Amino acid sequence: MNILEFTLLVAMGSFVAGLLGALTGLGGGVVLVPLLTIFFKVDIRYAIGASLVSVIATSSGAAAAYVKEGFSNIRIGMFLEIATTLGALCGAFLATIVSTRALAIIFGLVLLYSAYLSRKPRTPEQRNLPPDPRATRLRLNGSFPSEEGIRFYNVQNVPTGFSLMFGAGALSGMLGIGSGAVKVLAMDQAMKIPFKVSTTTSNFMIGVTAAASAGIYLNRGYVDPGLAMPVMLGVLAGSLLGVHILIKAETNVLRWVFSLVIVALGAQMVYKGIAGTI
């Protein structure tokens, strides 16, 4: 395979990953690394570097659209970014000392877990919780426009949420993914932040988290321009198209299919890691 063919194939694969990621809300980054390592036989370190760069592109590219809806909470995002960026530094450091086999196994397990999270029925939202003094002091409580008018919410369990965010950052830095699923879990489940606010704020945080480890990857020589170029351009184009053609009726089937793909890729990553063929 010459470079031109390789570039076009990787760009097409990344385009589809970005498109499905945006349509299902699961993020395209999560299937990129398995796609590159399993089908294109790319070394997992190059794959992680390229994926990380594309995560910054999709998160930043979509931010303007999300902001207009008025759901994201800039204070929650900024406060929790302290945890995610510190976690990302640790994750990027870990990635250099952990073997590629172990990386593949961890990656596979994270894939399986995020597929489980996306299929798990959401626990009904608890409303009108009393204000937590910690959240009040940190000015995290906010409001957003809903069908019933402006809705206010009180943020809970700040320390738990903060610790989970550190973990999300570490996974992001180690595996080159956005780890949006863990971020949403921390905000939606632990901190009791409304789902819409959690997902949009998470998207906002993903770019900053990824930037914290991308610098380290760049100066370690894990970011190859020839590989990162088709990945970044493909994912960006796919996800922008996905955001525009989002059709509600079909996304449920799509989510099912995409979850199955994630499970299959996750199982294969674990298998290859154990067999040592990664």
Establish if 94 lies at the interface with other proteins (CB under 8 A): no
Rounded to a whole number of angstroms, the minimum distance from the CB of residue 222 to other proteins is 7
Bridge partners, 150 (sequence order): 145
Provide the b/e sequence for 97-131 (b: ≥16 CB within 10 Å). Answer: eeebbebbbbbbebbbebbebbeeeeeeeeeeeee
Question: Of 101-109, 137-145, 175-183, 259-267, which part binds other proteins (CB under 8 A)?
Answer: 137-145
**Measured from the CB of residue 175, what is the shortest distance to other proteins in angstroms?**
16
C-beta of 118 vs 203, nearer to other proteins: 203
Residue (of 248, 189, 177) closest to 26 by Cα position: 177
* 128 phi-psi bin (left φ>0, alpha ψ -120 to 50, beta other): left
Which residues, 168 to 187, sit near other proteins by CB under 8 A? none
Q: Give which of 82, 107, 88 is closest to 170, Cα–Cα.
A: 88
Output 115 or 186, the one with its CB closest to other proteins.
186
* CB 48 to other proteins: min, Å: 11
Q: Rounded to an integer, what distance in angstroms lies between the CA atom of residue 84 and that of residue 99? A: 23
Taking CB under 8 A as the binding criterion, the range among 83-91, 175-183, 251-259, 268-276 that sits at the site for other proteins is 83-91
Report how far residue 255's alpha carbon sits from residue 264's, in angstroms, rounded to the nearest whole number. 14
Distance CA 194, CA 67 (A): 16
Do 172 and 84 touch, CB atoms closer than 8 A?
yes
Q: In the bound complex, what is the minimum distance in angstroms from residue 255's beta carbon to other proteins?
A: 26
Residue closer to other proteins (CB basis): 215 or 276: 215
Amino acid at site 278 = I
10 Å Cβ neighbour count for 223?
A: 19
Q: How far is the CB of 126 from other proteins (least distance, A)?
A: 24
Nearer to other proteins, 104 or 115 (CB): 104
Residues 21-80 that bind other proteins (CB under 8 A): 40-43, 45-46, 53, 56-57, 59-61, 63-68, 70, 72, 74-75, 78-79
* Nearest distance, CB of residue 120 and other proteins, angstroms: 30
Residues 205-244, one symbol each (x = binds other proteins by CB under 8 A, - = not), give --xx-xxxxxxx-xxxxxxxxxxxxx-xx--x--------
Report which secondary-structure segment, H or E, holds 149. strand 149-153
CB of 180 closer than 8 Å to CB of 27: yes
Query: Footprint of other proteins on this chain (CB under 8 A)?
Result: 1-7, 40-43, 45-46, 53, 56-57, 59-61, 63-68, 70, 72, 74-75, 78-79, 81-82, 85-86, 88-89, 92, 138-139, 143, 207-208, 210-216, 218-230, 232-233, 236
